């Protein structure tokens, strides 16, 4: 029997919401990446700790830190040929930890109408609160109108959509990058989507190197677009992104770690060294995420 997720998070008590946390293994031991990609990403990110924690251990990790976390996988079967770990299991297990975890869904956009039906089922039956896409891994151009029926369904449901943007550590250092193409993750492709779906909240994941200026311009121009800061140690953030986060984008930037690829404590330690205004920090850590997730208190 499906256990539908409902919020039980005390949003006044928690200190932060990590908008970007990966679940890389399911209860059957199936991993989200093949062995070669997993090994290459561990080398690239120098993760240092367990790269495949269970949902139970992820929940406890954030509970100890008085944080909530958005958890997800990526269904990239058409683009990668690797079957995903279970999206439905993530939603069901997150429901058992709904004091700290927030499940996002993922669908393979190349599955067309089947992807739309599955997305609706994940929302209606499993209670997922948003969706994650990785255009480079899923090998699709987000502004291709073939995928617009999927966005229409997500906009109608009122859930946010998190898109990977910029360089990806997945495939980095491998011959041909394991066939993964960075151009699919150019944030300018999302500018079309944001313009054509003004009621759809878009979150551009990661400082979008080498397109950081484009990313800043889009988030400044489009009221429905946010940026999460995951996937990079804050000490490597583009300086123009730090300046924007302190000023014109102070209400549009979100805390995200990319755990377990990047450890939360490492990210927080490095972020503390940035010259971020005291009044902006709580916006980045929690308040902006509440708005992007459409959570009212």
Domain range for 166 is 16-292
5 within domain boundaries: no
For residue 10, being part of any structural domain is answered with no
Is residue 6 domain-resident?
no
Which domain CATH number covers 242?
A: 3.20.20.140
Task: Express each pLDDT in 223-235 by its tens digit.
Answer: 999 999 999 999 9
CB 137 within 8 A of CB 76: yes
In a domain? residue 207: yes
Q: What is the mean pLDDT of residues 56-62?
A: 97
pLDDT digits (tens, 9 = 90+) for 136-152: 999 999 999 999 999 99
- Whether residue 9 is contained in a domain is answered as no
Residue 155 Cα distances to 73, 130, 149, 197, 266, angstroms: 20, 10, 10, 7, 35
The model's pLDDT over 64-90, given as tens digits with 9 standing for 90+, comes to: 999 999 999 999 899 888 788 899 999
CB-based burial of residue 277 (10 Å sphere; 0-12 exposed, 13-18 middle, 19+ buried)?
Answer: exposed
Burial class of residue 177 (count of CB atoms within 10 Å of its CB; 0-12, 13-18, 19+): middle
Is residue 204's pLDDT more than 90?
A: yes
What does pTM read for this prediction?
A: 0.94
Q: How many structural domains are present in the chain?
A: 1
Query: Residue 235: inside a domain, yes or no?
Result: yes
């Amino acid at each position: 029997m499906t256990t539908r997720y409902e919020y039980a998070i005390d949003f006044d008590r928690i200190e932060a919401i990590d908008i970007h946390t990966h679940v890389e293994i399911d209860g059957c031991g199936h991993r989200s990446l093949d062995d070669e990609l997993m090994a290459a990403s561990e080398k690239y990110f120098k993760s240092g700790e367990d790269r495949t924690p269970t949902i139970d251990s992820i929940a406890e990790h954030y509970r100890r830190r008085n944080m909530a976390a958005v958890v997800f996988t990526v269904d990239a079967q058409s683009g990668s040929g690797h079957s995903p770990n279970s999206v439905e299991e993530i939603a069901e297990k997150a429901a058992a930890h709904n004091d700290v975890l927030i499940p996002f869904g993922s669908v393979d956009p190349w599955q067309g109408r089947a992807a739309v039906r599955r997305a609706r089922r994940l929302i209606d039956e499993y209670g997922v609160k948003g969706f994650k896409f990785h255009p480079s891994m899923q090998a699709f151009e987000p502004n291709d109108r073939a995928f617009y029926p999927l966005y229409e369904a997500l906009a109608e449901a009122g859930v946010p959509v998190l898109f990977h943007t910029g360089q990806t550590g997945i495939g980095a250092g491998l011959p041909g990058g394991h066939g993964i193409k960075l151009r699919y993750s150019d944030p300018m492709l999302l500018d079309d989507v944001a313009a054509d779906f003004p009621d759809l909240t878009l979150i551009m994941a990661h400082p979008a190197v080498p397109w950081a200026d484009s990313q800043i311009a889009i988030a400044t121009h489009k009221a429905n677009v946010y940026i999460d800061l995951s996937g990079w140690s804050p000490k490597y953030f583009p300086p123009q992104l730090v300046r924007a986060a302190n000023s014109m984008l102070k209400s549009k930037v979100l805390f995200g770690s990319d755990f377990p690829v990047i450890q939360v404590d490492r990210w927080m330690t490095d972020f503390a060294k940035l010259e971020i205004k005291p009044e902006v920090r709580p916006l980045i850590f929690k308040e902006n995420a509440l708005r992007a997730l459409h959570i009212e208190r």
